[in-house]
């Protein structure tokens, strides 16, 4: 269930006005390994697009193909209407931030940031003001004379950003730029990056394996699996409408319930679980009705745990087998005859029942709050 | 505690230290001692350093041949090291093998091979005549040119290996960064690669220069006795004229010269870092 505005077939139709990058049928093979397998994407100007996938799913290979360091085995890359598939990296005019920062170790912060200006117009083209401005963008202008090895990881990453942005590239490529930082700093920098993107309007193409990072920062996410696009779309769309078991499990967590679907006279669907219980499923406007054997995905946070069945909900009974406390909420493991083991998440203070192990409880969710997904 | 942690391991280096003391420090001390006692106690031997024109010539010749050798060796070695750092694995193995093979060949064999190549009707002269570049054989042996050719050849692996070690440790993403940020290949090389490879150049330069100062076999054979460098002159004093005082004085001077070069170098660079003790 791919968002048609985001990806499309590998056609060579005219570019839409606000499209800045188009990738058509990109494939890269290393011997028998298909690192990237027939990937097509259209990226709107000014977007924050994230390539999200587990390690080895082909994210870096796609980014390096755009940057010009990987020569595709097949396919085209078009930037601003120009086919750059065979243009050398140093003629593409893209900004890039590398995973290990890759600052020039023998140059000061100012010289690092001035480098893109220097290669374009010689030493005299290095405008101190522009360098200072770029550094101010990332709150690093006070360290302009430091050497890189006298900076912390977060500071180095900021300098790398300023260096990639100083010549106003239309596109900024970022390969897991925050993965080497500790959790707290990472969260801060996520905010800053998002704000920066908002402020300067440059198109960001961002690579990460961290789903939370992808969800919190991106306008669009492309989920990659074994070199192929599994699903793409806005974070909310992907989260609430995962097309497959893989996506539902990769973004957040899900309970998966196998069953058999049949149309319901009222317009919805009836799902019969393995345990024989009849449950109802309401369809969203654009949602296809499952028929026959199906796999239903149910998010833990959509479950309400109570002592008595809730009105207008699907309800199954079960026994609490375990509880984990996470500060803001509880994770409750419940064994149900109808569905097998189910995980629920409930707010620590607003939970309807005290989550005591061994307690008999009702598991409730609205008919619209679960979804049929492809079993792959 | 630190002490009890490290103390046992010291015993492991004791045999090596003992061997150093017996086979190295003791003879060196002996040489220094002889240089101020033979034939008479005092610094009499050292006055020849400025009194004897011959000794001054030998020292001057040794210095400048070593300098020229160093410049050529490090330059040529840099090119090879750069190539080694760029090629794929398979080519790398072959090239490294070729570099190391010259190290495994005896220095005598290498010097005599150059005699065969460089003599009046040797391969080099024949080839140059055959392609019409010259019409009379060039004098390539028994002169400084021959000595320098032989020495550069001998020293090349010594220059290539530390520079290659340095280059292979450079972060390739830094070069990619230069590339993607718009640097042309010459800019990426001179502004990024070359400065980053400087530590390797410094190690190679020191190594080759210090080795050259005390080099014996190659200058003796390719110089044919006409290009007398310090080591050969010292050996001459020991074996032919039996002036041990003079010989040990020159050996001591060479040792002090090398130490002086290293001392000056350490003033400007961080030795520990260069040799990988940290950083
Ligand atoms: N230079 C290469 N040679 C051989 N295989 C490669 C090379 N680069 C990447 N691969 C393979 O391609 C696949 C995708 O790699 P990559 O794009 O780096 O994934 P990701 O960045 O998502 O972790 C992996 O299976 C990886 O082993
Ligand atoms: Mg990667």
Q: What is the ipTM metric for this complex? A: 0.81
DSSP β-bridge partners for residue A364: A304, A315
Ligand 1 atom at shortest distance from the alpha carbon of A175: 21
Q: Which residue of A has its CA nearest to B187?
A: A119
Confidence of residue A4 (pLDDT cuts 50, 70, 90): very low
* Spatial contact of B143 and B225, defined as CB atoms under 8 Å apart: no
Residue bearing the bigger pLDDT, B238 or B5: B238
Sole residue written with tokens 């977007």: A47
Q: Which of B173, B182, B187 sits opposite A98 (nearest CB)?
A: B173
Contact A104 B176 (CB under 8 A): no
Helix (H, G, I), strand (E, B) or coil at B191: helix
Helix (H, G, I), strand (E, B) or coil at A38: strand
Ligand nearest to the CA of A39: 1
| Alpha-carbon dihedral B203, B204, B206, B210, rounded to 10 degrees | 140
Q: Is the pLDDT of residue B279 over 60?
A: no
Q: Is A242 exposed, middle or buried (0-12, 13-18, 19+ CB in 10 A)?
A: buried
As a whole number, mean pLDDT of residues A161-167 equals 95
Residue bearing the bigger pLDDT, A267 or B218: B218
Contact B180 A163 (CB under 8 A): no
In angstroms, the CA A176 to CA A60 distance is 9
Other CB atoms within 10 A of residue B87 CB: 14
Confidence of residue B6 (pLDDT cuts 50, 70, 90): low
Other CB atoms within 10 A of residue A197 CB: 20
pLDDT of residue A8: 41
Contact A69 B196 (CB under 8 A): no
As a whole number, mean pLDDT of residues A236-249 equals 92
Give the residue extent of every domain in chain B.
Answer: 1-37, 45-274
Confidence of residue B213 (pLDDT cuts 50, 70, 90): very high
As a whole number, mean pLDDT of residues B211-218 equals 92
Q: Is B158 exposed, middle or buried (0-12, 13-18, 19+ CB in 10 A)?
A: buried
Distance A64 CA to ligand 2 centre (A): 10
DSSP β-bridge partners for residue A257: A296
Contact B173 A89 (CB under 8 A): no
Q: Which residue of A has its CA nearest to B186?
A: A119
Q: How far is B172 from chain A (nearest CA, A)?
A: 8
Of all residues in chain A, the percent with pLDDT exceeding 70 is 93
**What superfamily would CATH give domain B45-274?**
MetI-like (1.10.3720.10)
Ligand nearest to the CA of A57: 1
Q: Which residue of A has its CA nearest to B177?
A: A102
Q: Does residue A281's CB lie within 6 angstroms of at least one atom of ligand 1? A: no
Q: Which of A332, A334, A303, A302 is nearest to A317 (CA)?
A: A334
Contact A116 B174 (CB under 8 A): no
C-alpha distances (whole Å) from A278 to each of A273, A334, A368, A374 are 7, 19, 15, 21
pLDDT of residue A16: 53
Mean pLDDT lowest for which of A107-121, A242-256, A259-273, B89-103?
A259-273
pLDDT of residue A17: 57
pLDDT of residue B277: 47
As a whole number, mean pLDDT of residues A356-372 equals 87
Of all residues in chain A, the percent with pLDDT exceeding 90 is 63
CA torsion through residues B22, B218, B205, B62, sign: positive
Residue bearing the bigger pLDDT, A227 or A359: A227
In angstroms, the CA A281 to CA A274 distance is 16
Q: Does residue A208's CB lie within 6 angstroms of at least one atom of ligand 1? A: no
Confidence of residue A6 (pLDDT cuts 50, 70, 90): very low
Which of A34, A61, A71, A205 best tests ligand 1's pocket when mutated (most atoms within 8 Å of CB)? A61
pLDDT of residue A20: 95
Interface of A with B in 70-129 (CB under 8 A): 89-96, 98-100, 102-106, 115-116, 118-120
Q: Which of B171, B184, B195 sits opposite A90 (nearest CB)?
A: B184
pLDDT of residue A328: 74
Other CB atoms within 10 A of residue B210 CB: 20
| Strongest mean pLDDT among A71-85, A276-290, B8-22, B103-117 | A71-85
Helix (H, G, I), strand (E, B) or coil at B60: helix
* Spatial contact of B103 and B157, defined as CB atoms under 8 Å apart: yes
As a whole number, mean pLDDT of residues B272-277 equals 57
pLDDT of residue A95: 96
Q: Which of A361, A347, A360, A282 is nearest to A315 (CA)?
A: A361
Q: Is the pLDDT of residue B270 over 80?
A: no
pLDDT of residue B276: 53
Helix (H, G, I), strand (E, B) or coil at A175: strand
Q: What burial letters (b/e) apply to A117-133, b meaning 16+ CB within 10 Å?
A: bbbbeeeeebeeebbbe
Distance A52 CA to ligand 1 centre (A): 14
Distance A88 CA to ligand 1 centre (A): 21
Q: Which of A163, A193, A198 is nearest to A178 (CA)?
A: A193
As a whole number, mean pLDDT of residues B151-178 equals 94
């Amino acid at each position: 269930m791919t968002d048609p505005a985001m990806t499309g077939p590998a056609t060579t139709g005219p570019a839409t006005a606000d499209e800045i990058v188009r990738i058509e049928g990109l494939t890269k093979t290393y011997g028998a390994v298909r690192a990237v397998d027939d990937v097509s994407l259209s990226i709107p100007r000014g977007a924050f697009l994230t390539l999200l996938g587990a390690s080895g799913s082909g994210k870096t290979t796609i980014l390096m193909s755009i940057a010009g360091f990987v020569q595709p085995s097949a396919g085209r890359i078009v930037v601003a209407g120009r086919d750059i598939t065979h243009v050398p990296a140093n003629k593409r005019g893209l900004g890039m931030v590398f995973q290990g920062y890759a600052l020039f170790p023998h140059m000061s912060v100012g010289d690092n940031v001035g480098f893109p200006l220097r290669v374009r117009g010689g030493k005299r083209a290095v405008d101190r003001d522009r360098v200072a401005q770029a550094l101010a963008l990332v709150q690093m202008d006070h360290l302009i004379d430091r050497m890189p090895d006298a900076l912390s990881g977060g500071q180095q990453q900021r300098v790398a950003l300023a260096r990639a942005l100083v010549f106003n590239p239309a596109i900024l490529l970022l390969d897991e730029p925050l993965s080497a930082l500790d959790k707290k700093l990472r969260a801060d920098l996520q905010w800053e990056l998002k704000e920066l993107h908002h402020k300067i309007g440059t198109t960001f193409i961002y690579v990460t394996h961290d789903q939370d990072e992808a969800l919190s920062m991106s306008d669009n996410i492309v989920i990659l699996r074994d070199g192929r696009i599994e699903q793409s779309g806005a974070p909310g769309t992907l989260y609430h409408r995962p097309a497959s078991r893989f996506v539902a499990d990769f973004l957040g967590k899900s309970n998966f319930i196998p069953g058999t679907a049949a149309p319901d006279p009222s317009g919805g669907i009836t799902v019969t679980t393995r345990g024989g219980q009849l449950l109802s499923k309401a369809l969203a406007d654009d949602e296809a009705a499952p028929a026959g054997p199906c796999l239903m995905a149910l998010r833990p946070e959509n479950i309400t745990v109570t002592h008595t069945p809730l009105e207008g909900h699907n309800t199954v009974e079960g026994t609490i087998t375990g509880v984990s406390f996470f500060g803001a909420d509880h994770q409750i493991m419940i064994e149900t005859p109808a569905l097998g083991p189910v995980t629920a998440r409930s707010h620590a203070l607003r939970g309807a029942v005290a989550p005591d192990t061994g307690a008999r409880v009702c598991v409730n969710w609205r008919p619209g709050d679960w979804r049929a997904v492809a079993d792959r | 505690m630190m002490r009890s942690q490290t103390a046992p391991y010291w015993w492991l280096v004791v045999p090596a230290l003992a061997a150093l003391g017996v086979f190295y420090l003791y003879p060196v001390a002996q040489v220094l001692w002889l240089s101020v006692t033979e034939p008479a106690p005092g610094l009499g031997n050292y006055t020849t350093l400025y009194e004897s024109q011959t000794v001054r010539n030998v020292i001057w010749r040794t210095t400048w041949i070593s300098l020229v050798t160093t410049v050529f060796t490090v330059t040529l070695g840099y090119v090879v090291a750069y190539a080694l750092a760029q090629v794929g694995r398979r080519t790398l193995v072959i090239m490294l093998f070729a570099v190391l093979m010259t190290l495994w060949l005896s220095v005598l064999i290498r010097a005599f091979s150059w005699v065969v190549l460089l003599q009046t009707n040797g391969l080099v002269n024949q080839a140059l005549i055959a392609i019409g570049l010259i019409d009379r054989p060039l004098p390539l042996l028994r002169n400084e040119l021959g000595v320098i050719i032989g020495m550069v050849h001998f020293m090349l692996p010594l220059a290539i290996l530390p520079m290659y070690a340095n280059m292979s440790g450079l972060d390739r993403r830094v070069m990619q960064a230069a590339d993607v940020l718009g640097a042309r290949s010459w800019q990426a090389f001179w502004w990024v690669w070359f400065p980053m490879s400087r530590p390797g150049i410094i190690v190679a330069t020191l190594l080759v220069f210090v080795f050259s100062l005390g080099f014996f076999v190659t200058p003796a054979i390719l110089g044919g006795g006409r290009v007398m460098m310090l080591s050969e002159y010292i050996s001459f004093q020991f074996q032919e004229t039996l002036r041990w005082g003079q010989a040990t004085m020159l050996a001591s001077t060479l040792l002090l010269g090398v130490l002086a070069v290293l001392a000056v170098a350490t003033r400007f660079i961080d030795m520990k870092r260069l040799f990988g003790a940290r950083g």
